[in-house]
Amino acid sequence: MAATADETEAHQDASDPEPGPRRRPGRIALAVSVFGELLITAGVLLGLFVIYSLWWTNVIADRKADREADRVRDHWAHATDTGPGALDTKDGIGFLHVPAMRNGEVLVEKGTGTDVLDDGVAGYYTDPGRATLPTTGKKGNFTLAAHRDGHGAKFHNIDKLREGDPIVFETKDDWYVYKVYSILPETSKYNIKVLSSVPRESGREKPGHYITLTTCTPVYTSRYRYVVWGELVRVDKVDGRRTPPAELR
C-alpha cells in the first residue's frame, strides 16, 4: 500500500538532523589557522627582502656608481694637473677592468667599508702597509675589495678568473696591465696576510708590483674570503682617444 504524503513528509523530517547553532573551531584549530597565516605573511616579507637585497640594491648602487664615474671622467677631461696627485679625486681614483668577470668598468674609491662598497664600487685598502697605489711607482700590493652579491655585486664572477687572465687598472694618464698568477678560493676573513706588500701566500717571495682582489665567499654569505693575485706586466700611456690596451679589445 502506498504511503500517504503526510507519512512521507514525517519520515523525511525524522531523518534530517535537528537544527542548532554551528560549532565554533577549537582553540587548537584556531591557533593552527593563525600560525599558518603568519607563516604566509613571513614568507611574503622574506621574499620581498630577498628581492630588495639581491636586485633593488644593485639597481640603486649601479645608478650611483654611474654618476660617480661620469664625474671622474669629467674631472679627467678638464683637469690640467698630472702625476700621482692627479689620481686623487673626491669621486674615485680610477677604473678596474676585468674582462673575465664581465662586469664592465668598475670605479675604484678609497676605503673598503660598507659606506664605500655599498655604492657599487671597488675600494682599496688604506691600512698601513696595504696602501700601495700603482701610480706611486713603488713596489707593493694594490689591494682591492668589492661586494659579491647585492649593492652592485661587482666581484660576483670572481670565480671565473683563471691564471693568465688580465686585470687592468685605468687612471687619467696610464693603463696598468696585470696578469693573474695565483688564486685562493677560500680563506678566513681574518687572514690579512693575503694583503701583504709581498703576498707570500700567493707564492711570491720578493717585492714586486702586485694587485689583489678580495671578496666574500661562498656566494650570498660573508663566511670566508676569495682572493685573486695579479702581477704588473706593463704600463701603457693613455692616448688622446683613450684607446684601451689589447687585453680589453
The CATH number for 50-248, chosen from 3.40.50.300, 3.20.20.100, 2.40.260.10, 3.40.50.2300, is: 2.40.260.10
Question: In the chain, at which residue ranges do the beta strands (DSSP E only) sit?
Answer: 94-97, 105-110, 122-124, 140-145, 166-170, 174-188, 209-217, 224-237
Residue 216 annotated in active site: yes
How much is the pLDDT for 109? 95
Cell of 239: 692616448
Quickly list DSSP for 63-127: HHHHHHHHHHHHHHHH----SGGGG--SS-SEEEE-GGGT--EEEEEE--SHHHHTTS-EEE--S
pTM: 0.79
Q: Which ranges of the chain have pLDDT less than 50?
A: 1-2, 8, 10, 14, 48, 51-52
How far apart are the C-alpha atoms of 188 and 193, rounded to whole Å?
10
Report pLDDT for 127. 81
* 113-133 residue pLDDT tens: 999 999 999 999 998 666 789
The per-residue pLDDT for 44 is 57
Question: What single-letter amino acid sits at 122?
Answer: A
pLDDT score of 2: 47
- How far apart (Å, rounded) are the C-alpha atoms in residues 228 and 233? 16
Would you give the end-to-end CA distance of the chain in angstroms?
104
In this prediction, residue 170 carries a pLDDT of 97
> What pLDDT is attached to residue 20?
54
- Of 69, 216, 227, 228, which one is the catalytic site residue? 216
Q: Are 45 and 69 in contact (CB under 8 A)?
A: no
Q: How far apart are CA 141 and CA 164, in angstroms?
A: 18
Unique residue bearing C-alpha cell 681614483: 93
